Copies of this chain bind each other. A is one copy, B any other.
Amino acid sequence: MQPQWDTVAIIGVGAIGASIGMAIRQRGVAREVIGVTRTEASAEAALEIGAVDQIATRMEDAAATASFIVVCTPVMAIADHVRRCSAAARADTLLTDGGSTKGRLCRELASLPKGVFVGSHPLAGTHEVGPRAGRADLLQDRMVLVTPVEQTPDQAVQAAGDFWKALGAKVRTMEPEQHDRLLAFTSHAPHVVAYALAAASPVEALELAASGWKDTTRIAQGDVDLWRQILLDNPEHTLAALANFETQLAAIREAIASRDHELLTQLLSQGKKNRDAVGN
């Protein structure tokens, strides 16, 4: 069987980029994977764990030979990197990304000098960083959201979706704004909550932290620079989701303050119902 793609370039070989590279190579989805990084240690690690066939230090060099380009750099760098790749790319190149916010990005990249960009967001986070956190099965059975704009050709949407499916993921297509609105609830606001909860715990309490606290705050291990960028790239939706959360929290707080057993039962039950619906 022919590989689906000839040369795939992965810009940025952190945990997500390296995982994508490993999955492509293990599944034979492309003939060749070129990883782009300027950091020597990352280059070595990416080669060593088998995430890439070769490394380029200039993204333009990789882009010139690639038929498919996946930009896996931090949120606020993606638009610039996509434009630089596009300028160096072939006319028929498809570009996508792995960023956690989509609205501003997909509007900004609706038309490019060369090639077509369609946004993607693999819902497969890890708070670990660097190529050595890469795992070939990171996308296995996970969902990837593909977020075209009106101008995006159907063929590009289809091709991007096929790429993620070939890596074992499920694919769902939605508008970038819808993505940002929903992800504010499921990811961006929860990160704010986790960071705030961890910060609010006095040091003397931390040594008593058990599995409940650890679970609830786990994502506060996430890279601060990355998360600052994500939150500030989706501020309105994140604030709206936080407002929803703070309303719920205030209701529970008041039920506790007024020792209202019935109301407290009702409020906790609503949370449990949603949580149970999602499963483990």
Contact = CB atoms under 8 A, between A and B. Distances in A.
A235 to B, nearest CB: 5
A167 interface: no
Q: What is the oligomeric copy number? A: 2
Interface in A17-74: none
A27 B136 CA distance: 41
B197 A271 contact: yes
A200 B275 contact: no
B211 A125 contact: yes
Nearest to A222: B272
A212 B232 contact: no
Interface stretch (A86-94, A105-113, A158-166, A247-255): A247-255
Contacts of A280: 214
Interface residues of A, number: 82
Given A217-B275, A248-B196, A270-B199, A208 B182 contact: yes
A183 B196 contact: no
A231 interface: yes
A239 B142 CA distance: 38
A181 B210 CA distance: 15
Contacts of A228: 261, 264-265, 268
A79 interface: no
A129 interface: no
Nearest to A211: B125
Interface stretch (A5-13, A147-155, A185-193): A185-193
Given A193-B216, A232-B261, A208 B143 contact: yes
B185 A202 contact: yes
Chain A's interface: helix, strand, loop or mixed, by majority?
A: helix
A225 to B, nearest CB: 7
Contacts of A4: none
A195 B267 contact: yes
Contacts of A182: 204-205, 208
A239 to B, nearest CB: 6
A249 B245 CA distance: 11
Contacts of A195: 248, 252, 267-268, 270-272
A190 B206 contact: no
* Nearest 8 Cβ contacts at the A-B interface: A195-B271, A198-B271, A199-B271, A196-B248, A185-B205, A123-B210, A220-B275, A200-B245
Given A123-B210, A124-B211, A214-B280, 14 more contacts: A125-B211, A143-B208, A145-B208, A182-B208, A186-B206, A190-B216, A192-B249, A200-B248, A206-B277, A215-B219, A217-B278, A224-B265, A231-B256, A239-B253
